[in-house]
């Protein structure tokens, strides 16, 4: 059993204005890195488009329709200062969410043991009824909802190691104890949620880390809090919101992770999945804005998925 790589060329054609950090070159740098010989065993699959019904499991149906109706035929249309769409965005956002849905289907059919979805735009800031922080649809949450609705999985977990708190995913998961969301993130930082000392239900585990935190603090948060909580939750499937912007070279974040931290985090999450849910892991790209660090980090992430 191997690992699937799900992507689509349409994800290169979502084009925010020039100078925007969330640019097509991000995905291209990852895809180029994954062309190396060592990745030949990957099962490569083109992402299908998510349907309105699939999106509407986590988004307001009217919001999903509004997003699609707002795609311009030329130029860009802004949802907020950070979040813009271009003519190519319709296909990109539908296939980014569809990739995670397809990943769930592949794992549940036993075609592969785990999946990496190399897609953009990212999704974890997208709220049920609002785009923000480069995100239009919440790709990982759409996949998690699909796993429950179509495959009958009861308990699904999302682990988010992006440098930013995944406020959208947390909002979607907050009041349902059979959904689990855990995040390591820089705090204080955008978007301002996931702060220390906040009252949270047991299924939400926020682990804010200060600017400058590196592998030692990150691994301690995983080992002491995140992994035990995930184990206690007993997931039927583990999703990873794989943002690589906590890397020390990233221009947006101020954390100091390196590739070996991402390899380790992927490995320990796969170990929990192996013990609890037959190794079922579906990972999807979130942030990461230094092209070289992003490519190197995604490379070790996929290496760890393949080695699981």
Active centre residues (catalytic): 125
In the list 49, 162, 170, 259, the residue contacting Zn ion (rule: CB under 5 A) is 162
Binding residue for Zn ion, selected from 42, 243, 270, 273, defined by CB under 5 A: 243
- Residue number with CB closer to Zn ion (279 or 287): 287
- Residues 213, 248: Cα–Cα separation, whole Å: 10
DSSP secondary structure, 125-158, as one string: T-BTTB-BTTBSS-HHHHHHHHHHHHH----EEE
Closest CA to 143 of 41, 57, 235: 57
Instruction: Convert residues 257-296 into a mask of x (bound to Zn ion by CB under 5 A) and - (unbound).
Output: ------------------------------x---------
Rounded least distance, CB 227 to Zn ion, Å: 22
Decide: is 130 part of the binding site for Zn ion (CB under 5 A): no
Q: Nearer to Zn ion by C-beta: 85 or 132?
A: 132
Region for 212 from its dihedrals, namely left if φ exceeds 0, alpha if ψ lies in -120 to 50, beta otherwise: left
Burial status of residue 225 (CB atoms within 10 A of its CB: 0-12, 13-18, 19 or more): middle
- Reported as type and span, the H/E element at residue 181 is strand 179-186
User: Taking Cα atoms as reference points, which of 55, 53, 44 lies closest to residue 9?
Assistant: 44
Query: From the CB of 164, what's the least distance to Zn ion, in Å?
Result: 4
Count the site residues for Zn ion by CB under 5 A. 5
List 105, 160, 206, 245, residue binding Zn ion (CB under 5 A): 245
* Listed ranges 178-186, 200-208, 244-252, 293-301: which one lies at the site for Zn ion (CB under 5 A): 244-252
In the list 26, 164, 247, 256, the residue contacting Zn ion (rule: CB under 5 A) is 164
- Least separation, in Å, of the C-beta of 240 and Zn ion? 14
Nearer to Zn ion, 164 or 301 (CB): 164
User: Dihedral, CA atoms, 101, 103, 106, 111, nearest 10 degrees?
Assistant: 180
């Amino acid at each position: 059993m191997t690992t699937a790589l799900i992507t689509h060329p349409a994800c290169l054609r979502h084009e925010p204005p020039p100078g925007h950090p969330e640019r097509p070159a991000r995905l291209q740098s990852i895809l180029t890195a994954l062309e190396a010989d060592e990745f030949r065993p990957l099962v490569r699959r083109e992402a299908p488009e998510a349907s309105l019904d699939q999106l509407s499991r986590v988004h307001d149906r009217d919001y999903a329709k509004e997003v699609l109706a707002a795609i311009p035929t030329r130029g860009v249309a802004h949802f907020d200062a950070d979040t813009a769409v271009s003519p190519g965005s319709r296909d990109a956002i539908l296939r980014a969410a569809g990739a995670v849905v397809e990943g769930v289907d592949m794992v549940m059919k036993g075609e592969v043991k785990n999946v990496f979805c190399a897609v953009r735009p990212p999704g974890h800031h997208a709220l049920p009824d609002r785009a923000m922080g480069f995100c239009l649809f919440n790709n990982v949450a759409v996949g998690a909802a699909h796993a429950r609705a179509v495959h009958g999985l009861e308990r699904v977990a999302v682990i988010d190691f992006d440098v930013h708190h995944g406020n959208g995913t947390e909002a979607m998961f907050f009041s349902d104890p059979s959904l689990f969301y855990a995040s390591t993130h820089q705090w204080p930082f955008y978007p301002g949620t996931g702060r220390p000392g906040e009252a949270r239900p047991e299924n939400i585990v926020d682990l804010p880390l200060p600017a400058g935190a590196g592998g030692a603090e990150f691994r301690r948060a995983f080992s002491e809090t995140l992994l035990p909580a995930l184990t206690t939750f007993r997931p039927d499937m583990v999703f990873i919101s794989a943002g690589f912007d906590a890397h020390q070279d990233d221009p947006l974040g101020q954390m100091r992770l390196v590739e070996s931290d991402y390899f380790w985090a992927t490995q320990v999450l796969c170990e929990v999945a192996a013990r609890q849910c037959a190794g079922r892991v579906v990972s999807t790209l979130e942030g990461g804005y230094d092209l070289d660090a992003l490519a190197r980090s995604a490379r070790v992430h996929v290496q760890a998925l393949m080695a699981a």
